[in-house]
């Protein structure tokens, strides 16, 4: 197994793959971090206190990590995925299965992460690519705590192959034939987590939190359906499962960012204080652009965009959501 990306999730996936008997080559962008990880058997920046099994070989060379790999997991931050794979595509074995584990929507093109990979790598990679997503905190997966996720792709045989390869007694995988729905849910849940975190940071209570989570689900489902997704996807692990975890779990980077915004901190100060990437910040901008292109109403995303990019007061943003004209709740996901 080759894993491209040595952040918290990439490291946790490497530990999991080693636990099911795979030999793993883990590519780490930062050369000094790669060297330390190889020596100390720990990712002290992104996943401290988690020991790397001996089956994991850490490297700063993408070519070394990809040579001979039968399966490859791409788990780099969404905003650098195109750059990395545009340079590394020639190293990917022509018959390797590519597992996309990046969550996000590219700014400008409005492509999901698998779309970015398809363009960057080219060839027939679309035919041998699946997406991995679901309610999974890296730290818990690394500890071997129970978890479940989805392998999504159009080819049922391919998704089943990956499912069987990764499944374990602690980490259960389900297959899904709706990759666009899974990827939209995976991306937009980070935006909603910022909104819910902001709400909690303002001290607005459990009722407000529940309302935001529920209407956030409607919002991300509405965009996904406009792009051709199956509505049932949003009721599953990649939809409501990942949304609830990311909006309410204490390990959520996007929720934490929202909490700090709600308590009055500036975005620049928050992002400068941690090496961890909160994907929802960039996704808010790209999701807003995609929704406008598709003519989909997304009021929560619009208000969080205002908070992140237009210095909008967080309390005013959430009050604006409550003061919108009355709507009816129905199966068309009207907010």
| 231 occurs within a structural domain | yes
Cβ neighbour number for residue 68 with a 10 Å cutoff: 10
DSSP annotation of 276 reads: S
Considering 154, 177, 200, which residue would you say is the last residue of a domain? 177
| 266 a catalytic residue | no
Say if residue 223 is in the same domain as residue 305: yes
Model confidence over 150-207: pLDDT tens digits?
999 999 999 999 999 999 999 999 999 999 999 999 999 999 999 999 999 999 999 9
Say if residue 36 is in the same domain as residue 165: yes
Model confidence over 200-237: pLDDT tens digits?
999 999 999 999 999 999 999 999 999 999 999 999 99
Say if residue 117 is in the same domain as residue 52: yes
Say if residue 123 is in the same domain as residue 257: no
Cβ neighbour number for residue 221 with a 10 Å cutoff: 25
Question: Do 16 and 171 form a contact (C-beta atoms < 8 A)?
Answer: yes
Taking each helix axis from N to C end, the angle separating 113-121 and 81-88, rounded to the nearest 10 degrees, works out to: 30
Residue whose C-alpha is closest to residue 320's, from 332, 334, 302, 333? 302
Model confidence over 37-92: pLDDT tens digits?
999 999 999 999 999 999 999 999 999 999 999 999 999 999 999 999 999 999 99
Model pTM greater than 0.75? yes
- Using alpha carbons only, how large is the chain's radius of gyration in Å? 19
> Which has more confidence, 275 or 210?
210
How high is the pLDDT of residue 155?
97
d(CA 262, CA 187): 22
Question: Do 117 and 96 form a contact (C-beta atoms < 8 A)?
Answer: no
Measure the CA dihedral 253/254/260/262, to 10°. Answer: -160
How high is the pLDDT of residue 331?
52
Say if residue 289 is in the same domain as residue 184: yes
DSSP annotation of 25 reads: E
Considering 177, 204, 239, which residue would you say is the last residue of a domain? 177
d(CA 176, CA 169): 20
d(CA 311, CA 155): 45
Q: Which helix (H) or strand (E) holds 2?
A: strand 2-4
Say if residue 318 is in the same domain as residue 245: yes
d(CA 299, CA 96): 41
Say if residue 157 is in the same domain as residue 268: no
| 217 occurs within a structural domain | yes
Q: Which of 126, 189, 282, 319 is catalytic?
A: 189
CATH number of the domain residue 264 falls in: 1.10.1040.10
pLDDT band at residue 330 using 50, 70 and 90 as cut-offs: low
How high is the pLDDT of residue 126?
94
| 35 occurs within a structural domain | yes
Model confidence over 115-152: pLDDT tens digits?
999 999 999 999 999 999 999 999 999 999 999 999 99
Say if residue 150 is in the same domain as residue 184: no
Residue 334 pLDDT > 90: no
Considering 156, 177, 198, which residue would you say is the last residue of a domain? 177
CATH number of the domain residue 6 falls in: 3.40.50.720
Look at the chain and report how many structural domains it folds into. 2
Say if residue 163 is in the same domain as residue 48: yes
**Mean pLDDT computed over 251-273:** 93
**Mean pLDDT computed over 102-111:** 94
DSSP annotation of 105 reads: B
Q: Could you tell me the CA-to-CA distances from 128 to 70, 109, 221, 232 in Å, in that order?
A: 11, 22, 26, 24
**Residue 45 domain boundaries:** 2-177
């Amino acid at each position: 197994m080759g894993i491209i990306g040595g952040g918290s999730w990439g490291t946790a996936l490497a530990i999991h793959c080693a636990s099911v008997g795979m030999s793993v080559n883990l590519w780490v962008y930062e050369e000094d971090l790669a060297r330390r990880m190889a020596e100390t058997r720990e990712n002290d920046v992104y996943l401290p206190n988690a020991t790397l099994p001996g089956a994991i070989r850490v490297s700063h060379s993408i070519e070394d990590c990809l040579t001979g790999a039968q399966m490859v997991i791409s788990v780099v931050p969404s905003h650098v995925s195109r750059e990395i794979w545009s340079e590394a595509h020639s190293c990917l074995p022509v018959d390797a299965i590519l597992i996309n584990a990046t969550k996000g929507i590219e700014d400008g093109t409005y492509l999901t992460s698998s779309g970015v990979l398809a363009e960057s790598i080219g060839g027939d990679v679309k035919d041998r690519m699946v997406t991995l997503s679901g309610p999974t905190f890296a730290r818990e997966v690394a500890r071997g705590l129970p978890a479940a996720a989805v392998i999504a792709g159009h080819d049922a045989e391919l998704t089943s192959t990956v499912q069987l390869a990764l499944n374990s007694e602690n980490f259960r995988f389900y297959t899904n034939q709706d990759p666009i729905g899974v990827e939209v849910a995976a991306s937009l849940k980070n935006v909603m987590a910022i909104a819910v975190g902001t709400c909690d940071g303002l001290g607005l209570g459990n009722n407000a939190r529940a309302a935001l989570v529920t209407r956030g689900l409607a919002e991300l489902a509405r965009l996904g359906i406009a792009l051709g997704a199956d509505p049932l996807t949003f009721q599953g692990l990649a939809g409501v499962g990942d949304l609830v975890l990311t909006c309410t779990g204490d390990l959520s980077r996007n929720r934490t960012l929202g909490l700090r915004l709600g308590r009055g901190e500036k975005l620049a100060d928050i992002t400068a204080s941690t090496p961890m990437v909160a994907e929802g910040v960039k996704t808010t901008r790209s999701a807003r652009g995609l929704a406008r292109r598709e003519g989909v109403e997304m009021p929560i995303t619009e208000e969080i965009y205002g908070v992140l990019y237009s210095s909008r007061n967080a309390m005013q943003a959430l009050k604006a959501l409550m003061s919108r004209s009355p709507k009816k709740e129905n199966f068309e996901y009207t907010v």
